[in-house]
Amino acid sequence: MSNAISQANNEIGPTIFHPMKGDQGALVSVKDFSLWYGARQALYGVEMELEKGLVTALIGPSGCGKSTLLRSFNRMNDLIDGLKISGSILFDGQQIFAPDVDVIGLRKRMGMVFQKPNPFPMSIADNVAYPLKVDGVRDRQLIEQTVEKALKASALWDEIKDRLHQSALGLSGGQQQRLCIARAIAADPDVLLMDEPCSALDPVATAKIEELISELAGHYTIVIVTHNMQQAARVSHNTAFMYLGRLVEYGETGAIFTVPRADKTREYVTGRFG
């Protein structure tokens, strides 16, 4: 172990846990999970459980590993050359890194929403219907029902029900992001992974997405990476603070922002960092 690594280990210490427990138990269990990009280690022995139906926020300074962890949940990191992992992530009791895992199936159950809205260059309805069509669903009635349901669930229906067949690229940024959430929901996932979903949006659109996250909680297990600490405080039940690839503290959000237990968390949430 290099000096810098052992120094960071000493400085950070073991993870402090005080998360809120959901009444449906844990859906995802991360066990001693480490990850390397080539020679560079990005995650160090992360342990955490994502409670089913709750919203978990991942916060921390740039480069702390929060997006890497998020992208590990549905194996979005697989395509990166030189990727190496140790430890495990269990989703609904199954090893997601087992060789026989259907990665496409995994990603359907763990929908992802990205920083920049990425609607496909097609109509609003076709965007939402896309996951079904890829799946080979031909039943038009089922498709229409699913599109309506997903657009209602993503709080977009009332705004766009009269222009379902117009291009999705004509929507505002906030509407496009909610459309992406609708598209993720249409695949009937268990988990929604959101990587800074509001960083490209104005405050009103941001508020709508945050409101949507609250409404979707319970039905879906949501993990959100955010640079905006107030956003984490507003939308999440549990917050995980990461630093230098380690999970420093994982606890109930109210406690993280009022009485954090780790010194590093305290410094970060109060702006005494770096």
- For another protein, the binding residues (CB under 8 A) are 229-230, 233, 257-260, 265-267, 269-274
Q: Which CB, 75 or 264, lies closer to another protein?
A: 264
Least separation, in Å, of the C-beta of 207 and another protein?
15
Least separation, in Å, of the C-beta of 264 and another protein?
11
Least separation, in Å, of the C-beta of 180 and another protein?
28
Q: Which CB, 47 or 267, lies closer to another protein?
A: 267
Least separation, in Å, of the C-beta of 258 and another protein?
6
Q: Which residues of 206-241 are buried (b: 16+ CB within 10 A; e: fewer)?
A: bebbbebbeebbeebbbbbbbebbebbbbbbbbbbb
Q: Which residues contact 28 (CB under 8 A, 6 or more apart)?
A: 49, 50, 73, 89, 90, 91, 92, 191, 221
Least separation, in Å, of the C-beta of 192 and another protein?
26
Q: Which CB, 95 or 258, lies closer to another protein?
A: 258
Q: Which CB, 236 or 265, lies closer to another protein?
A: 265
Q: Which CB, 28 or 262, lies closer to another protein?
A: 262
